[in-house]
Amino acid sequence: RIRPIRLIGLCASLITFLYSPVPRIQFDSSTAKSQFVESLRWLPYENINFYLGIDGISLFFVILTTFLIPICISVGWSGMRSYGKEYITAFLIREFLMIAVFRMLDLLLFYVFPESVPIPMFIIIGVWGSRQRKIKAAYQFFLYTLLGSLFMLLAILLILFQTGTTDLQISLTTEFSERRQIFLWIASFASFAVKVPMVPVHIWLPEAHVEAPTAGSVILAGIPLKFGTHGFLRFSIPMFPEATLCSTPFIYTLSAIAIIYTSLTTSRQIDLKKIIAYSSVAHMNLVTIGMFSPNIQGIGGSILPMLSHGLVPSALFLCVGVLYDRHKTRLVRYYGGLVSTMPNLSTIFFSFTLANMSSPGTSSFIGEFLILVGAFQRNSLVATLAALGMILGAAYSLWLYNRVVSGNLKPDFLHKFSDSNGREVSIFIPFLVGVVRMGVHPKVFPD
Amino acid sequence: IPFIPLPVPILLGVGLLLFPTATKNLRRMWTFLSIFLLSIVMIFSIYLSIQQIFLSCIHQNVWSWTINNEFSFEFGYFIDPLTSIMSILITTVGILVLIYSDNYMSHDQGYLRFFAYMGFFNTSMLGLVTSSNLIQVYFFWELVGMCSYLLIGFWFTRPIAANACQKAFVTNRVGDFGLLLGILGLYWITGSFEFQDLFEIFNNLILNNRVNLLFLTLCAFLLFVGPIAKSAQFPLHVWLPDAMEGPTPISALIHAATMVAAGIFLVARLLPLFIVIPSIMYIISLIGIITVLLGATLALAQKDIKRGLAYSTMSQLGYMMLALGMGSYRSALFHLITHAYSKALLFLGSGSIIHSMEAIVGYSPDKSQNMILMGGLTKHVPITKTAFLIGTLSLCGIPPLACFWSKDEILNDSLLFSPIFAIIACSTAGLTAFYMFRIYLLTFEGHLNTYFLNYSGKKSGSFYSLSLWGKEEEKKLNKNFGLVPLLTMNNTKRASFFCNKTYKISNNVRNQIFITVENFGLNTRTFYYPHESDNTILFPMLILVLFTLFIGAIGIPFNQEGIDFDILSKFFTPSINLLHKNSQNFVDWYEFLRNATFSVSIAFFGIFIAYCLYKPFYSSLLNLTLLNSFQKWNSKRIHWEKLINFVYNWSYNRGYIDSFFKTSLIESIRRLAKQTTFFDKRIIDGITN
């Protein structure tokens, strides 16, 4: 009885995915303006519109989103015995919300959509989560994001008060006084910093990842983590240039601390998912460093890792999901010598481990390199610290890989010896293609 | 060029994933394919190098990564004499190693995987030497590191191998970190990644004195950190000996001939940049000389044949680095070439030995590579022995062989550069001769020492063989035990040794067939003895012997005729002119002779000592029981004992550097990580909950 439902869900998401590159073809790369604008009068008396559009940056995030959703649905293919209908619904709603987030051109939507994305996520963690702590994790996740976005709401109201409209493109051209800029910047920073996540407020992410089901982790690592950096790129940096300039040292310090700190923390984790979650915190903080480097390499470079980060940790979470399905544990110490029983999965795992430590030929390399180029011109010490994260990154990635895959098999703990089946391999292949394609030929942007 | 060998790994990967059985059946075909493709590259690179003599450098952009309109990475190739020399080196050694490993790996399950990795490695290595800018260098630099990770950890079921490859990669990553920062710094200063632009801008800046010299030196040093790690120079050398956990062909190709040479290559490539900063040149030569000495002393007491060779590689790389630091570009590259061939020969020889030993002592690197268990192999593997001997002599610097010419040049240059360095370098040449002959004598002279397992077992301290075969052996152990004591009863003559042998035999299933033959005594040559390897293994070794014999000729200075007939320096003239003018007329014949006699006499001195120490020691095992001779040997040299023990311990424990790293760095990082986790758990998490 569950079969037609999930088939419908898969088909719907697949059609969306196949449709999503269409704007790419019709895309007019000569202008930097938003295209395919859809506008709906929503709250006419306050001059607030439901206003969506697409430009060069958001296009690829939309494609990324539509790419991940069918994968998430097929990941839960056999797992969703209970609440199958709700599972599909939750994911499709999320897809809608996330695409809307990347396309929004209205300030109020900047509040509405990112804040409504955690709701289905909350449900996903709460219902299909794996352990007892899931309720706590779900609450934590929800509260953190909500707390940040309250400040965002204040900021939006203030902008509305000054400009009289919430149209993003109008607001972008508005000049704010310096003090107001700083205030607005801090308010928006509070919201985005939670989503990135920057260091003192990062704790929700590993918790949420650990408790979420595989598909939930995949989508969480893939898309909502980009909201923060996407917000910086869309909102804070162009709208408040002076404040951005003032706050760059602050961001740099925070991000550099975050990179070192989370990399070190990663190397002490024992849960497979937590390791990947912490490493993705480190990567996202590298992105913020690049984003606040006031040159073309930094900003251009920071978009590439955002895209590649949509692929790499997601794929790693999928690997962990495959392992978890087999062995029902995620603790590193129970694993070992998997290569002799599951060679295919080990190969796949290895390629994504390489991508995670940004080895050349994979998607993350070129972006991180550009970020470091950009950051070095601004501040060489920060670039040094960020590059130090590279060593640590290699250390923990390899440590993880070596522990799980090589060495002697531990037959006491691992009972089932079956390699990844056809469905799983076919899920991984698009990830691999994407990672290598972006790593070898990263020219993906029209602008 | 570099992408010609690439199809093999890709096709292999796809083939293994999709049609596992079919691919495995056709495995020889893949080998031929990869050898064939590499041969094409070799012919092409030889052609290019002939072209190089007449033409200047070729520089062309092929492809670019355009990120934005203002900023793009050019991908191209840049071919100059250095590149062509390196590519010839890589392809020739690569082909020979591929042929060799076809046999060497034929019993391994990962045969195809091995060839896929090898193809990938050759690709990235060729990419490295042909790259035209620093980004490309960095790109392939990392890829090479990754391949070496894969290949060191080839037998990943062994925890040692897994740790070793991890260590290698992380150590190399430290170097990459420095290299990356250096590249970024240079980009910041000059605004370019291209080598040619880079050198020009750099020289202009220096001449006009427009940049901070300290910062410049720092950047150059950071660039140099990359080669330090890759070429196993002093502070970051720890990975190289551990890297010997990989299969022996890998050690020959990567850790003797090509990958470790990548660091030297990069320094040579960037020499126009380094040479304008005197302090960095001094640092390079200093690190070179430290490595020379350290490698030589550490090589003194290694038990494992491959580790001994690894440390000697390290020492030789130190020589090259020293030569580069002194600005003698030519001799460094000359030594690079000669050393690569000799060392590849030695490694392939040792591989052949290991292969023949494995049949006897069991499939564990603790044993089959243990030199103490070897000895007296001359009778059994004559061809390997000859090849190995030639390699050893060459490395010691005995005249007609390759390394003599190059090493002599380096020593000579060091004499001109600074007397202290010269003294260290010369004495290390003596040490080189000593440890190389120690390896040689232990392996080939005397008698087969596997029968003295009592002694060696005490030393190696580990009888268990941990490998893929571990489980089967234990199953059959019981069956063996019934058989063996019975046999020992029959043999009265050597009963004392058989108690050890039983253990050994039970360790190794394959030997049980030969037990009956063996107990008739040691004198009969039976199947049980190590046997000579197959033709496919011997063929590459013989080719390498030829190389070792004659490659020195390209660099021999024929100055006495008044004509400069030196091919190599002619070859490098375009690039050397830029560096220093007087490299052409560097020695007259008399001076050359004097230096040569000096260095050769040092080498002979080293050989003599090695012969004194190791030959009688092991031949005395013939008559006496082991313990007695050991005591006797000790009592003779009681006043030496303390010093020797110190040197031995220092050397055996790898100069305590490993343990120092372990305790200081790793522990501190661990502690730091622990604290951050604690912080994360208690404070950040605790506040909210």
* DSSP characters over B375-440: --GGGT-HHHHHHHHHHHHHHHT-TTSHHHHHHHHHHHHHHHH-HHHHHHHHHHHHHHHHHHHHHH
Polymer length in residues for chain A: 447
Asked if B143 and A360 come within 8 Å (Cβ–Cβ), the reply is yes
Chain B residues whose CB is inside 8 A of the A389 CB are none
User: CA angle, corner B183, sides to B179 and B184, nearest 5?
Assistant: 120
Q: What tokens were used for A237?
A: 């940096």
At B675 the pLDDT is 65
Give A 14-73 residues with CB within 8 A of chain B: none
Rounded Cα distance, A232 and A408, in Å: 46
Asked if B684 and A388 come within 8 Å (Cβ–Cβ), the reply is no
CB contacts < 8 Å between A and B, how many? 134
Banded pLDDT at B556 (limits 50, 70, 90): very low
Give B 497-526 residues with CB within 8 A of chain A: none
Asked if A300 and B185 come within 8 Å (Cβ–Cβ), the reply is no
Question: What stretch of H or E contains B608?
Answer: helix B589-619
> Mean pLDDT highest for which of B183-197, B485-499, B541-555?
B183-197
Q: What tokens were used for A185?
A: 């910047």
* Cα of B358 vs its chain's centroid, Å: 22
At B286 the pLDDT is 83
Distance from CA of B139 to the nearest CA of A (A): 5
- Comparing alpha-carbon positions, the chain A residue that sits nearest to B158 is A407
Contact A313, A368 (CB under 8 A): no
The mean pLDDT of A72-98, rounded to a whole number, is: 77
Give A 242-271 residues with CB within 8 A of chain B: 261, 264-265, 267-269
Contact B115, B8 (CB under 8 A): yes
Average pLDDT, chain B: 63
* Cα of A229 vs its chain's centroid, Å: 9
Question: What stretch of H or E contains A42?
Answer: strand A35-43
Banded pLDDT at B475 (limits 50, 70, 90): very low
Q: What tokens were used for B617?
A: 């020691």
The mean pLDDT of B99-107, rounded to a whole number, is: 71
DSSP state of B446: S
Query: Quick check: B76 pLDDT over 70?
Result: no
Q: b/e map of A154-169 (b: 16 or more CB within 10 Å)?
A: bbbeebbeebebbbbe
Q: Which residue has the higher pLDDT, A174 or A376?
A: A376
User: In this complex, which of A296, A340, A442 lies closest to B70 when CB atoms are compared?
Assistant: A296
Q: Which residue has the higher pLDDT, A128 or B462?
A: A128
Asked if B181 and A384 come within 8 Å (Cβ–Cβ), the reply is yes
Handedness of CA A49, A55, A57, A60 (dihedral sign): positive
Contact B484, B505 (CB under 8 A): yes
User: CA angle, corner A199, sides to A198 and A203, nearest 5?
Assistant: 100
Q: Is B509 helix (H, G, I), strand (E, B) or coil?
A: helix
Asked if B71 and A408 come within 8 Å (Cβ–Cβ), the reply is no
Q: Which residue has the higher pLDDT, B518 or B82?
A: B82
Backbone torsions φ then ψ of B643, nearest 5 degrees: -60, -45
Asked if B187 and A265 come within 8 Å (Cβ–Cβ), the reply is no
Distance from CA of B3 to the nearest CA of A (A): 13
Type of residue at B145: G
Query: Quick check: B482 pLDDT over 50?
Result: no
Rounded Cα distance, A177 and A242, in Å: 9
Average pLDDT, chain A: 79
B177 touches chain A (CB under 8 A): yes
At B68 the pLDDT is 52
Chain A residues whose CB is inside 8 A of the B176 CB are 390
Owner of token pair 């392809």: B91
Polymer length in residues for chain B: 689
Q: What is the DSSP string of B528-590?
A: TS-----HHHHHHHHHHHHHHHHGGGGG---GGGSS---HHHHHHHHHHHHH-GGGTT---HH
Banded pLDDT at A380 (limits 50, 70, 90): confident
- The string of pLDDT tens digits covering residues A303-350 is 888 888 888 889 999 888 888 887 777 887 778 777 777 777 888 888
Asked if B138 and A360 come within 8 Å (Cβ–Cβ), the reply is yes
Contact A95, A120 (CB under 8 A): no
Which distant-in-sequence residues (6+ apart) come within 8 Å of B444 by Cβ? B374, B375, B376, B377, B378, B385, B388, B389
Helix segments in A50-133, DSSP class H: 56-75, 84-103, 107-116, 118-128
At B585 the pLDDT is 42
Closest CA to A447 of A8, A21, A10, A34: A34
B319 touches chain A (CB under 8 A): no
Query: Largest alpha-carbon pair distance within chain A?
Result: 69
Closest CA to B93 of B125, B117, B116: B125
Give B 649-688 residues with CB within 8 A of chain A: 669-670, 672-674, 676-677, 680, 684-685, 688
User: In this complex, which of A203, A370, A443 lies closest to B685 when CB atoms are compared?
Assistant: A203
At A13 the pLDDT is 79
Contact B314, B296 (CB under 8 A): no
Banded pLDDT at B524 (limits 50, 70, 90): very low
Min mean pLDDT across A196-205, A281-290, B62-71 is at B62-71
A125 touches chain B (CB under 8 A): no
Q: What tokens were used for B179?
A: 């290299």
Banded pLDDT at A33 (limits 50, 70, 90): low
Question: What stretch of H or E contains B465?
Answer: none
> Which of B68, B179, B672 is most worth mutating to test chain A (most A CB atoms within 10 A of its CB)?
B68
Does the pTM exceed 0.90?
no
User: In this complex, which of A202, A361, A441 lies closest to B143 when CB atoms are compared?
Assistant: A361
Distance from CA of A277 to the nearest CA of B (A): 14
Tell me the ipTM for this assembly: 0.82
At B48 the pLDDT is 63
Q: What is the DSSP string of B615-678?
A: HHHHHGGGTS-HHHHHHHHHHHTHHHHHHHHHHHHHHHTGGGHHHHHIIIIIHHHHHHHHHHHH
Rounded Cα distance, B569 and A343, in Å: 50
> Which of B133, B137, B166 is most worth mutating to test chain A (most A CB atoms within 10 A of its CB)?
B166
Rounded Cα distance, A33 and A40, in Å: 19
Q: What tokens were used for B358?
A: 């494995």
- Comparing alpha-carbon positions, the chain A residue that sits nearest to B72 is A297
- Comparing alpha-carbon positions, the chain A residue that sits nearest to B145 is A359
Q: Which region, left, alpha or beta, applies to residue A106 given φ > 0 means left and ψ of -120 to 50 means alpha?
A: beta
At A333 the pLDDT is 79
Rounded Cα distance, B385 and B353, in Å: 9
> Which of A194, A205, A381, A391 is most worth mutating to test chain B (most B CB atoms within 10 A of its CB)?
A391
B364-367: Cβ within 8 A, 24+ apart: B364/B464, B364/B465, B364/B466, B364/B467, B365/B160, B365/B245, B365/B304, B366/B460, B366/B462, B366/B465, B367/B460, B367/B465
Type of residue at B561: E
> Which of B62, B158, B677, B683 is most worth mutating to test chain A (most A CB atoms within 10 A of its CB)?
B677
Rounded Cα distance, B522 and B524, in Å: 6
Domain locations in chain B as residue ranges: 656-688
Distance from CA of A82 to the nearest CA of B (A): 31
Asked if A370 and B188 come within 8 Å (Cβ–Cβ), the reply is no
Banded pLDDT at A433 (limits 50, 70, 90): confident
Owner of token pair 């083939």: B15
User: In this complex, which of B67, B174, B670 lies closest to A391 when CB atoms are compared?
Assistant: B174
Q: b/e map of A260-285 (b: 16 or more CB within 10 Å)?
A: bbbbbbbbbbebbbbbbbbbbbbbbb
DSSP state of B26: T
Distance from CA of B56 to the nearest CA of A (A): 30
User: In this complex, which of B169, B188, B673 lies closest to A267 when CB atoms are compared?
Assistant: B673
B641 touches chain A (CB under 8 A): no
- The string of pLDDT tens digits covering residues B320-366 is 888 887 777 777 777 777 777 777 777 877 777 777 666 555 555 55
Asked if B162 and A301 come within 8 Å (Cβ–Cβ), the reply is no
Chain B residues whose CB is inside 8 A of the A300 CB are 67-68, 71
Give A 368-427 residues with CB within 8 A of chain B: 369-370, 372-373, 376-377, 380, 383-384, 387-388, 390-391, 394-395, 398-399, 402, 405-409, 425
Chain A residues whose CB is inside 8 A of the B466 CB are 408
Chain B residues whose CB is inside 8 A of the A441 CB are 65
User: How far, CA to CA in Å, does B17 sit from each of A314, B67, B151?
Assistant: 22, 34, 20
Asked if A296 and B176 come within 8 Å (Cβ–Cβ), the reply is no
At A304 the pLDDT is 82
- The string of pLDDT tens digits covering residues A185-214 is 888 888 888 888 887 777 788 888 888 888
User: CA angle, corner A101, sides to A24 and A59, nearest 5?
Assistant: 10
- The string of pLDDT tens digits covering residues A245-270 is 888 888 888 888 888 888 887 877 78
Rounded Cα distance, B450 and B621, in Å: 12
Distance from CA of B275 to the nearest CA of A (A): 24
Type of residue at A350: F
> Which of B66, B133, B142 is most worth mutating to test chain A (most A CB atoms within 10 A of its CB)?
B142
Question: How would you class B564 by CB atoms within 10 Å of its CB: exposed for 0-12, middle for 13-18, buried for 19 or more?
Answer: middle
Type of residue at A136: K
Contact A77, A13 (CB under 8 A): no
Chain A residues whose CB is inside 8 A of the B467 CB are none
Asked if B177 and A391 come within 8 Å (Cβ–Cβ), the reply is yes
Q: b/e map of B25-35 (b: 16 or more CB within 10 Å)?
A: eeeeebbebbb
